[in-house]
Amino acid sequence: MNLYLYLDKDTIVHRLDPRAKILILICTFAIPLLNDHPLWVAGAMLLILIYGMLARSLGNIARIKTILVLIFIFSSLMWFVFAKGTTPLFWRVTRESVMYGLATGLKIDAMIIAGLIFLSTTKNEEITQGLIKLGLPFAVAFVFSTALRLVPTFVGAGATVSQAMRSRGLDIDSGSFLERIKKYVPLLVPIFLSSIRNTDSLAMALESKGFGNSPRRTFYLQLKWQPVDTLFLVFFVVLTILNAWAKINGFTSISGLIK
């Protein structure tokens, strides 16, 4: 089981400077958020998927397709009820609330997919270096990259503990949903202990290497900005500006929606 999201492929997106990919990620978050109409958000989703096709990272998206579908369904249904409009359909549901609910579900999925594409095409050390070059303090960039690195570590620890329990005769796959949850509760103790042990080892390793001893640092990874980075970034920035202009002028809003 591959616990890491990064895909080692030679694509034009993989070769982009991590600073460009970080700024593009911000744009791919902003573009869906600037739109309320589902058709505009669907266009933003299509753009992000094309970006993912260029990165050949749709395989990672397929791994969480069930989660994406569930998020879309539950987000949409929630806003069907709580959003208000002027064109009633049935009960508390209006035409405007349905449109807004669909747009909200697409927004959340679009941002998740954009983040997944970023993690699929950018190594952890590239993220750290890119954040530093963009002006963030080294400690902040290091904490962020360490958090990303620890997620698959925790997942791997959970998988190891569950397999060990299965080998000892614990049946954690049968029973109702609540019964299975109860069976997983005892697994939390060894998982947390393993996480604490790994964190303590990381802290000792950092102290032994003099982490934070000198404000000046050297880096093995050297970044080089290429014309293709400028091309991609300008494209996404222009799209973000156009969507912001459309938002201000009301082109992406839903007529009759009451917020």
What tens-digit pLDDT sequence spans the chain (259 residues)?
455 678 888 899 999 999 999 999 999 999 999 988 899 999 999 999 999 999 998 888 888 888 899 999 998 888 888 888 888 888 788 888 888 899 999 999 999 999 999 988 998 888 888 888 888 888 788 888 877 777 777 777 777 777 777 777 777 777 776 777 777 777 777 777 777 787 788 778 877 877 766 667 777 778 889 999 999 999 999 999 999 999 998 888 887 777 6
Backbone angles phi, psi at 93, to 5 degrees: -85, 135
pLDDT, one tens digit per residue, over 199-231 is: 788 778 877 877 766 667 777 778 889 999 999
Within a 10 A sphere around the Cβ of 180, how many other Cβ atoms? 13
How far is residue 252's CA from residue 87's CA, in Å, rounded to a whole number?
Answer: 18
How far is residue 79's CA from residue 74's CA, in Å, rounded to a whole number?
Answer: 9
How far is residue 28's CA from residue 34's CA, in Å, rounded to a whole number?
Answer: 10
How far is residue 27's CA from residue 17's CA, in Å, rounded to a whole number?
Answer: 15
Contact 101, 75 (CB under 8 A): yes
The pTM score is 0.81
Among 110, 80, 106, residue whose Cα is nearest residue 95: 80
124 CB-near residues (< 8 Å, 6+ apart)? 6, 145, 148, 149
- SS3 labels along 199-252: HHHHHHHHHHCCCCCCCCCCCCCCCCCCHHHHHHHHHHHHHHHHHHHHHHCCCC
